Structure 1
Amino acid sequence: MPMPPLAALPIRRLTPRDLTACADLSEDRGWPREEHKWGLLLAAGTGYGIDDPEGGLVTACVVTGYGSRHTPDLCGIGMVLVAERHARRGVGRRLMRHVMAECGTSPLTLYATPNGRPLYEELGFKATGSSEMVLGHFTADGPTSAVATRPATAEDLTTLVRLDGEVFGVDRTHLITRLPAFADLVRVAEDNGRITGYAAAWPNMDTHVVGPLIARDLGTAKALVSSLAAATDRPLRTDVDVRHADLLAWLKERGLASVGFNAVMTHGVPDLPGDWRRRFAPLTVAAG
């Protein structure tokens, strides 16, 4: 029996049961499987995909909504993937149009690779910023920071959610409350008993990804990264807003190297909400 045309295959909601199929799709496109990250995204967000009658997924993506539950204040779109055997046949465009319609009037954001950016521009997204991915073994150097850091505790969670909402600009309670289980390390910075920043390091293949990284200032951000690095032997990876040039220079001086750039893009809003000066790195670019 001939396979139905791609345009006739229905788009459906994905669930955590689709995690292996999503990881297979990542691998098909030459990306790491990233099952740990897929697990978070499928639990905290809404996945969309098309089943391949011959097995696996034709395409997939995940939308993470923030703020209001019924009409989100912001939707982050990520992990937009099309199987190699179905590439360049309009499948990604069809999926994106469906997702944008599902999001309704909510503003949208995503991190675009150079390859993906033309499609998103065609769909009306505008580049509003850029992030640089850096990766490598962190080498401590110089005097110990005067900024005090410590492991986060369960009692800190309410404060972290409040601080995160203030800096990110919309409520991310459903994501931040998953951090203790998702991340291997979560640390806070304090000044006279007041939390002035926090950061997490979560496992992704053979690295630890630093994110989110939210801090009052550059010195606080450096102290948080240093404290995370001291607790792991894995290479660190993080995606830093390029406006934080001083942090990027400091990371490169300590062994991390640039491995690429992503355009930060928005739709339906001229810029992202919140305070970028305290938002150094996202939890993951896949969640906006």
Structure 2
Amino acid sequence: MEIRRLVVDDIPECMKLITDRGWSWTPEQWQVMLALGPGYGAFDASGLLGTALTTPYPEMQAISGVLVASRAGRQGIGTKLMSNILDISPSALYATTMGQPLYERLGFHPVGQTVAYFGTFDGQAPGVTRKATPADAAALADLDREAGGYTRPAFWDLVLDPSGPHEVLMSDDGVVATRPNPTGVTIGPLIAPSATAACALVADMAAGRGEVRVDTDDADVAAYLTGHGFEERPGGCVLMVAGAANVPGDRSRYFAPASHALG
């Protein structure tokens, strides 16, 4: 078995792994992840056996995409891939129920949890936002660093690229973005000074958009969503940290992550 860095040409093999494990990542998501940080794959003569990705920030790295092919389960491949990146810096990840025991063995501890809500928004857009442009990248990166805790200007340059698939709306003190998923769009990050303000941002983004997914840990935002056409579905994850007591930032203003992969 060989562990090496993944490249764009490996994405078709990565998608076979996604299908095998029943995940919903798209080729475009793999491209984004490999553009923002290194990913590693375990290979043998049969092809790709497993993956682990890391997105490095100055404060902490976000780990994601830890997948092992069903044919290669219980061979320690996930542990070997994780050991390849865990000594880099303090780490955070969003764990599925299946993955949580592995991460606990590797020294991660839970610090939060998101619940997945899906629905077609049945309310009205209050009109509290405007469309963000590349000229807003520096201001949004500063806001993201304050609330989410990560310094990641490259992420905002990518998300605000007019040729990309993302949409970003902003207010004076908040931001909401979307990215495509297989059935619609997923909201994230969602940053606002209060739950009320966060709900207004969601309404502006979700009105007339078809099916929308929101992953949140906030009870008030959850209640707003379920009151406007959303329902809880499987897909929530446990936020876990290793090498630090908690994630950085003022998480009271961070109502949905940039993604489970990016933190």
Would you call these one fold, judging by a TM-score over 0.5?
yes
Alpha-carbon deviation of 1:219?
Answer: 2.2
SS in 1 for 2:74: coil
| Residue 30 (structure 2) pairs with residue 38 (structure 1) | yes
Q: Which whole-Å deviations, capped at 9, do the CAs of 1:194-231 have from their partners, x for residues lacking one?
A: x2001111111122010011111122211111111125
Q: Which whole-Å deviations, capped at 9, do the CAs of 1:59-116 have from their partners, x for residues lacking one?
A: 002100112xxxxx20000110001110122111111112213x1xx11000111111
Correspondence for 2:70 = 84
Q: TM-score, normalised by structure 1?
A: 0.86
Task: Return the alpha-carbon distance in structure 1 between the equivalents of residues 157 and 25 of structure 2.
Answer: 24
Is the CA contact 2:137–2:153 (under 8 Å) kept in the aligned structure 1?
A: no
Task: Return the alpha-carbon distance in structure 2 between the equivalents of residues 45 and 216 of structure 1.
Answer: 29
Is the CA contact 2:17–2:69 (under 8 Å) kept in the aligned structure 1?
A: yes
Is the CA contact 1:136–1:237 (under 8 Å) kept in the aligned structure 2?
A: yes
Task: Return the alpha-carbon distance in structure 2 between the equivalents of residues 17 and 66 of structure 1.
Answer: 25
Alignment of structure 1 residues 119-198 onto 2, 5 Å = 119-140=102-123, 145=126, 148-181=128-161, 182-189=164-171, 195-198=172-175
Runs of 4+ in 1 over 3 A off after TM superposition: 181-184
Is the CA contact 1:29–1:84 (under 8 Å) kept in the aligned structure 2?
A: yes
SS in 2 for 1:287: coil
Correspondence for 1:63 = 54
Amino acid across the alignment from 2:92 = T
Alpha-carbon deviation of 1:32?
Answer: 2.3
Alpha-carbon deviation of 1:286?
Answer: 1.1
Is the CA contact 2:189–2:256 (under 8 Å) kept in the aligned structure 1?
A: yes
Is the CA contact 1:161–1:177 (under 8 Å) kept in the aligned structure 2?
A: no
> Alpha carbons of 1:249 and 1:209: their partners in 2 closer, same or farther (altered >3 Å)?
same
- Aligned pairs, how many? 260
Correspondence for 2:223 = 249
Given the alignment, which residue of 22, 37, 43 partners 1:51?
Answer: 43
Q: TM-score, normalised by structure 2?
A: 0.94
Larger radius of gyration between Structure 1 and Structure 2: 1
Identity %: 37
Is the CA contact 1:19–1:42 (under 8 Å) kept in the aligned structure 2?
A: no
| Residue 209 (structure 2) pairs with residue 232 (structure 1) | yes
Unaligned runs of 5+ in 2: none
Task: Return the alpha-carbon distance in structure 2 between the equivalents of residues 33 and 276 of structure 1.
Answer: 26
Task: Return the alpha-carbon distance in structure 1 between the equivalents of residues 25 and 197 of structure 2.
Answer: 33
Task: Return the alpha-carbon distance in structure 1 between the equivalents of residues 226 and 7 of structure 2.
Answer: 39
Unaligned runs of 5+ in 1: 1-8, 68-72, 190-194
Alpha-carbon deviation of 1:251?
Answer: 0.6
| Residue 251 (structure 2) pairs with residue 276 (structure 1) | yes
Amino acid across the alignment from 1:210 = I
